[in-house]
Structure 1
Amino acid sequence: MLGSSLRDICKERESKRRRESSYDITGGNRDFLKIFPGDQKTIAMISGSGCVTHIWMTMAPLEETMEEYLYRKIIIRMYWDGEESPSVEVPIGDFFGMGHGITKNYSSAPFQMGPESGQALNCVLPMPFKAGARFEIESQAAEPIKFYYYIDYESYTAEPETALRFHATWHRELTKGINSDEVSNAYYEFGGKNTDGKNNYVLLEAEGRGHYIGCNMNIHNLRYTNEWNWYGEGDDMIFIDGEEWPPTLHGTGMEDYFNTAWCPTEEYQSPYFGLLLGGDPNWAGKISTYRYHIEDPIMFDKSIKVTIEHGHNNHRSDDYSSTAYWYQTEPHKEFQELLPMAERLPLPNIKEATAEDTREFFNY
């Protein structure tokens, strides 16, 4: 398994390049699959040993209008080596690096959303397998779609050099903090002490041996106020192999984990970190950010738990969703059942909501 760097590209390779795609097998130009509401289709069944090297996908309405939040309603799953439980199960937009059920042009090292308007979904992470691979698409949309795809891979005569397999999982939580009306704003944003990490937002819990390679995180700051409203004061805490608090990897704030600084709203993208949505004034509204540990993966021998506070000391009540990516030995810990479609959809903007509305929403 040669790498793809400029230094490796000149070296001889023993593998064969293969592809699964949605091309029109009749020789015509209907180069897409029709996927109807409720369909659960296997789009690629690859035999033997190999490694997926590139995925490109896009969608369009079968009729006239693109359905709202379609990218949260279509699920992508991947299975390696004949396993029955998927190693990847994520809403398709979130898998390719951005949540909130939308797309946007951006470029990172492992994922890119390209023109037009970010609807060209790309992934170049290597995904090795020794005894076959299967890709599945499920539609929980209300309308039929056209689905186009390339799945490019290398075919090997021997097993891949690594026993680790690619994994990705999605999580969404309406976090439960404290009532901001009952404390000062200074205490709400900065007060109290978190000395166990038990109520942190959890991006990933995995068992086995491998390494975590990062995440994208999407936050809907549900609090509209004239007071200081920074959502990201929470620290990242990554617990490796069952360690207790404080973990070996304990951070200093959300923007610091995502490699930015000083409560940013300025949109930015780079190979390994970026801020795709900066939110509304005073940090309200919808935010989307990513951090990929390509040059600095986080290894674990038995288990890993990747967490972050939702506001300092978990005081904030916001809408969090995330996709975590990692490689590990099989078998993997089974994922929690994916939320029903209605519970995956983004919340509407609530700029005009009152404090009473927000308390009712969170069942205070």
Structure 2
Amino acid sequence: MSLIHKQSLLVLLVIISGSPTLFSQELYQLPKNKHTKWVSFENISGDKGQGGIENKGAKGHAFDNIKAGTSVNLVNLEGSGTIKRIWLTFSDRSPEMLRSLKIEMFWDGSDKPAVSAPIGDFFGVGLGQRVPFESALFSDPEGRSFNCIIPMPFKTEAKISVTNESQKDLEAIFFDVDVLMEEHQEDVLYFHTYWSRDLHTKLAEDFKVLPKIKGSGRFLGTNIGVYTDPVYEDTWFGEGEVKIYLDGDKEYPSLVGSGTEDYIGTAYGQGPFNHQYQGSPIADAKKGEYAFYRYHIPDPVFFYEDMEVTIQQIGGAPAEKVREMIKNGVPMKPISVSNKSFHKLLEMLQPVDLTHPDILKGWTNFYRSDDVSATAYFYLNAPFSNLPELVPVDIRTSNLHKKP
């Protein structure tokens, strides 16, 4: 392991867990009153001495099925502890099933889930696809599994369920949830997610990665999926800036980026890559598919009253291409032109003929409409939030691209 990787791992352990101890000290120190549970179908209670009982201990219950329209509880624990790791896989990883399986998590007796998301999107990659990748929070070594190492504390109770909202039975699901039973005397932040999709974003209207939430906590980050509208051909979709509204911000945010690919650490376009805190596992302009993420671990985003996260729906192309699309009736609204200097079209007092070659010269940014979905991850000082329920399965599975 390289020095940089060791330092990154140390930062991850300290920042996410809140532990002030060094990584090397945690390895050889024995804490008091902490007990490990591995919860799986082989030991669904995670209790001491209750693992691998079926079939006389010879791999008796490694997996189970989920019939269409039914649910299975993966975790149902009482007490205080922290979920440290989730691994699972299942037999049907088609785009439809990845969006039809709903994973939900409930903390401390709440009847409203803190987590409710399509299972594929929850585990770090959107669009109903799996590809090999690794980030600080999620990984999929070979494109066939689902790993999450986000710490998820609870004080009295933890429940995790998976519901099959497709029309097909799921023949096999395997899982393993690793839990450290420990007392949380201090106030802890509860882990949450929010998933949403807009099949056709509206011109000049920002997509809400995370609608306004009330309370205090920390925005952990997001993974976003985009199907670009074919009417824009293979023009660049990612000029939109991420905005984060904090603690009473109204019309304008406190935090704002400079572009979509800039937000995930790359520049002048977006190809496939995966790093610890930022990446784009899927980036294909010809197919019109992009899936990318950013996790605010070394650069925390805290809030104390409320927070909202959006991303602008802005693309860009050379002026001659933009003029061609305008003449062809493609839905768009030019907003700026870069030609030696930066021309802000929305601040011009008089309307201009944007189809005229003397007016529109250079790289042109424009509002556009695409199919956008996102999973937002955050911690909150309550086991439930004011956010709406997960959208129905027909919206989640509509117009999915076929698996290669």
- Which TM-score bucket, shorter chain as reference? 0.7 to 0.9
Gaps of 5+ in 1: 179-193, 351-364
Q: 1:251 maps to what in 2?
A: 257
- Residue in structure 2 matching 1:210, options 212, 217, 221: 217
2:344 maps to 1:339: no
Q: Distance in 2 between matches of 1:208 and 1:92?
A: 26
In the superposition, the TM-score normalised over structure 1's length comes to 0.82
Instruction: Give the 3 Å change call, closer, same or farther, for CA 218–56 of structure 1 in structure 2.
Output: same
1:26 deviation in Å? 1.3
Question: What does residue range 178-217 of structure 1 map to in structure 2 within 5 Å?
Answer: 178=203, 199-205=205-211, 206-217=213-224
2:170 maps to 1:152: no
Q: What SS does the aligned partner of 2:227 have?
A: strand
Q: Distance in 2 between matches of 1:339 and 1:248?
A: 29
1:330 deviation in Å? 0.8
1:141 deviation in Å? 2.1
Q: Whose radius of gyration is greater, 1 or 2?
A: 2
- Residue in structure 1 matching 2:277, options 272, 280, 305: 272
Q: Distance in 1 between matches of 2:194 and 2:232?
A: 33
1:163 deviation in Å? 1.9
2:375 maps to 1:323: yes
Deviations 1:29-67 (A, max 9, x none): 341121100012222111100000000010015xxxx65
2:54 maps to 1:26: yes
Q: 1:233 maps to what in 2?
A: 239
Q: Determine if contact 2:88/2:176 at 8 Å carries over to the other structure.
A: yes
Q: Distance in 2 between matches of 1:57 and 1:200?
A: 34
Q: Distance in 2 between matches of 1:142 and 1:25?
A: 33
1:143 deviation in Å? 2.1
1:160 deviation in Å? 5.0
Q: Determine if contact 2:95/2:400 at 8 Å carries over to the other structure.
A: no
Q: Distance in 1 between matches of 2:135 and 2:384?
A: 27
Q: Determine if contact 1:208/1:332 at 8 Å carries over to the other structure.
A: no
Q: What SS does the aligned partner of 2:262 have?
A: helix
Q: What SS does the aligned partner of 2:230 have?
A: coil
Q: 1:359 maps to what in 2?
A: none
Q: Distance in 1 between matches of 2:309 and 2:252?
A: 13
Q: Determine if contact 2:190/2:383 at 8 Å carries over to the other structure.
A: no
Q: Distance in 2 between matches of 1:44 and 1:225?
A: 45
Q: Determine if contact 2:201/2:371 at 8 Å carries over to the other structure.
A: no
1:159 deviation in Å? 2.2
Question: 1:151 is matched by which residue type in structure 2?
Answer: V
1:7 deviation in Å? 4.9
Question: 1:83 is matched by which residue type in structure 2?
Answer: S
Instruction: Give the 3 Å change call, closer, same or farther, for CA 208–261 of structure 1 in structure 2.
Output: same
Q: What SS does the aligned partner of 2:307 have?
A: strand
Question: 1:46 is matched by which residue type in structure 2?
Answer: L
Question: 2:395 is matched by which residue type in structure 1?
Answer: E
Q: What SS does the aligned partner of 1:233 have?
A: coil
Q: Distance in 2 between matches of 1:168 and 1:160?
A: 24
Q: What SS does the aligned partner of 2:395 have?
A: helix
Question: What does residue range 62-211 of structure 1 map to in structure 2 within 5 Å?
Answer: 67-115=94-142, 118-145=143-170, 146-156=172-182, 158-159=183-184, 161-178=186-203, 199-205=205-211, 206-211=213-218
Q: 1:47 maps to what in 2?
A: 78
1:220 deviation in Å? 0.4
Question: What does residue range 274-313 of structure 1 map to in structure 2 within 5 Å?
Answer: 274-281=279-286, 285-311=288-314
Question: 2:30 is matched by which residue type in structure 1?
Answer: E
Question: 2:176 is matched by which residue type in structure 1?
Answer: Y
Q: Distance in 2 between matches of 1:225 and 1:334?
A: 36
Q: What SS does the aligned partner of 1:69 have?
A: helix
Q: 2:31 maps to what in 1?
A: 13
Q: 1:362 maps to what in 2?
A: none
Which is further off, 139-148 or 230-239? 139-148
Question: Which structure features the higher share of helix residues?
Answer: 2
Which is further off, 161-170 or 79-88? 161-170
Q: Determine if contact 2:224/2:374 at 8 Å carries over to the other structure.
A: yes
Q: Determine if contact 2:114/2:385 at 8 Å carries over to the other structure.
A: no
Deviations 1:142-163 (A, max 9, x none): 222211100101112x325442
In the superposition, the TM-score normalised over structure 2's length comes to 0.74
Q: Distance in 2 between matches of 1:349 and 1:67?
A: 10
Question: 1:204 is matched by which residue type in structure 2?
Answer: L
Instruction: Give the 3 Å change call, closer, same or farther, for CA 67–260 of structure 1 in structure 2.
Output: closer
Deviations 1:173-223 (A, max 9, x none): 123344xxxxxxxxxxxxxxx7xxxx2111113211100010000000113
1:6 deviation in Å? 4.2
